[in-house]
Structure 1
Amino acid sequence: MKRHVEYAWRLRELMAAREMNNISDLIPHLEDRGVALSASQIYRLIGGKPERMNLALLGALLDALDCTFEELCPTTVVAVPARERLTGTEASTAKKDAVRPVRARIHRPE
């Protein structure tokens, strides 16, 4: 079995709990910590689930919201079953049992 890591992004919820309802409420907190982002970058950060993030930005978010990584981004590990592959013996057995078309024969008219 393969293991797949899933995560949730709770930035909007944590901002609301700390009475930060707008993008403009978060910008000064990040700038105080040396992170300068545009309003559109912060909008994408709040609205979506980021796939990659700068560690300086992550640290600034954790400090500005006074939370831990587990509160901001809870993770779970899910076991995903691996695909089963046919071995040579199983594949040959499957081919023998399959219905094969009958070859057409064309006769010339006499």
Structure 2
Amino acid sequence: MKQIDYLWHLRTKMAEQGMFSTTDLQPHLSDRGITLSREQVYRLVTGQPQRLSMHTLVALCDILECTPNDLIEPRIVDTSAKKAAGRDAGATPIAARRTTIRRPRTES
């Protein structure tokens, strides 16, 4: 099985164009007909978007003079190879330990 993830390089591309604040991006998006709130732009820049409209992606590429490949770097990990090795990556093996059950003493 393959696990799919990606890296989002919007902040890096903005810095290359001299934009260091999330508010620097909002007027450029507005000029291209993309209306996003201040909070939405902040999440777009600082986070990793789960959904992104194609119009927004094209506007970002136009603003930053880049391609979608410059903004999105796919990461595909083959999880079946990890399981075949006996454990998942990043998982710590747990050693079995014998447990002793102590019952309370009753006095009669």
Q: Give the fraction of aligned pairs with identical amino acids, expressed as a percent.
A: 41
- 1:28 partner SS: helix
Cα drift, residue 47 of structure 1:
0.9
SS in 1 for 2:23: helix
RMSD over equivalenced CA pairs, Å: 1.7
User: How far is the alpha carbon of 1:6 from its aligned partner?
Assistant: 1.7
> Runs of at least 4 residues of structure 1 off by over 4 A?
none
- Residue in structure 1 matched with residue 18 of structure 2 by the alignment: 19
Give unmatched runs, 5+ long, in structure 2: 85-108
Give the Å deviation of 1:29.
1.0
- Distance in 1 separating the partners of 2:22 and 2:79: 37
Give 2:91's aligned residue: none
Higher relative contact order, structure no. (Cα contacts within 8 Å, ≥ 6 residues apart) = 1
The residue that corresponds to 1:49 in the other structure is 48
- TM-score with structure 2 length normalisation? 0.70
The answer to whether structure 1 residue 79 and structure 2 residue 78 are counterparts is: yes
Q: How many residues in Structure 1 have an aligned counterpart in Structure 2?
A: 83
Question: How far is 1:42 from its partner?
Answer: 0.4
Shift of 1:24: 2.1
TM score, norm. by length of structure 1: 0.69
Q: Deviations over 1:20-50 (max 9, x none)?
A: 1112211111111110111111001111111
